[in-house]
Amino acid sequence: MENENASVWSSVRFWRRSAGWVTGVSAMLLIFLTFDSVGQITMGTDDDLKNKITKRVPAPTVINYHIDYKMSQKRGHEVPVIGEKELFFGKNWSEEEARALLHLGKLTSQAKNCMNCHTLLGNGAYYAPDLTKAWLDPTWETLAEAFGGKEYAISAFLQDPAGMAMHKRRMPNLNITEDEAKGLVAFLKHMSSIDTNGFPRNFSKSVEQFKQGETNAH
Ligand code: HEC
């Protein structure tokens, strides 16, 4: 009788051991994943950019490069592609300058609470267009020439959104200074170079729609 009842499923020892193993293996997996994630999200260096080494989060000096968003057949979504060097606000930014400018942009984005309306890297609201890839929005290409560069067009918009309204919903004037706008544009450009596994997929509006002067509630 006793032997028949001694099924492994009713053995306390078996369950204790299983719990021990499951906890141990999960803990190891979590430790591995933590280090793996830290590696993935650690910012690259200026040398990585010079040597064309792709990092998920490129160095601040990525603002000195042209950034494209191209379909990757292998991964099945768009990925940021860092191209040739280009001037940003008419100059090439040193590592310290780029870092300081990005820092100013980040602080300004927090002080002016862009996330109250927009989404940045998955955080924030969807009242207004997602800003994660806003730098790559084709709309800016259509305005770049008139402003002498995409960065000048975005900076002008940030300082006077009503003067360049593109959607039905309007962005309020947040009293952004010229320097803060420069920082914000650098922040947006850097953010667009981050590999976010193709998210978000669509821009708020196509160039065609923009040219036709259509207005969507984004
Ligand atoms: C009160 C809500 C609100 C806040 C806060 C806000 N925005 Fe906007 N923003 C909007 C709306 C609405 C639009 C669409 C307006 C338009 O295109 O005319 C917009 C559009 C934009 C665009 C154009 C997006 C594109 O892809 O075409 C950019 C860039 C932008 N905002 C940046 C910012 C930044 C940077 C901040 C913080 C400093 C900010 N916004 C704060 C509401 C807001």
User: Which residues form the pocket of ligand 1, taking CB atoms under 6 Å from any ligand atom?
Assistant: 108-109, 112-114, 116-118, 127-129, 131, 134, 137, 139, 154, 158, 161, 165-167, 169-172, 174, 184, 204
Angle between helices 150-159 and 178-192 (to 10 degrees): 130
Structure tokens at 31: 């430790």
Report the C-alpha gap between 63 and 187 in whole angstroms. Answer: 9
* Residue 79 pLDDT > 70: yes
Report the C-alpha gap between 85 and 150 in whole angstroms. Answer: 15
* Residue 207 pLDDT > 60: no
Mean pLDDT, the chain, integer: 91
C-alpha of residue 194 to centroid of ligand 1, in Å: 20
Q: Which atom of ligand 1 is nearest to the CA of 205?
A: 27
Which of 55-69, 110-124, 165-179 is the least confident region? Answer: 165-179
C-alpha of residue 59 to centroid of ligand 1, in Å: 25
Most ligand 1 atoms within 8 A of CB, residue of 118, 132, 160, 187 to mutate: 118
Residue with CA nearest ligand 1 atom 5: 114
103-114 tens-digit pLDDT: 999 999 999 999
Which of 29-43, 126-140, 158-172 is the least confident region? Answer: 158-172
* Residue 48 pLDDT > 80: yes
**Cα dihedral 86/110/176/64 (nearest 10):** -10
Q: How confident is the model at residue 7 (pLDDT cuts 50, 70, 90)?
A: confident
Residues facing 123 on adjacent strands: 120
- What's the predicted TM-score (pTM) here? 0.86
Q: State the SS3 of the chain.
A: CHHHHCCHHHCHHHHHHHHHHHHHHHHHHHHHHHHHHHHHHCCCCHHHHHCCCCCCCCCHHHHHEEEEEEEECCCCEEEEEEEEECCECCECCCHHHHHHHHHHHHHHHHHCCHHHCCEECCEECCCCCCCCCHHHCHHHHHHHHHHCCHHHHHHHHHHCHHHHCCCCCCCCCCCCCHHHHHHHHHHHHHHHCCCCCCCCCCCCCCHHHHHCCCCCCC
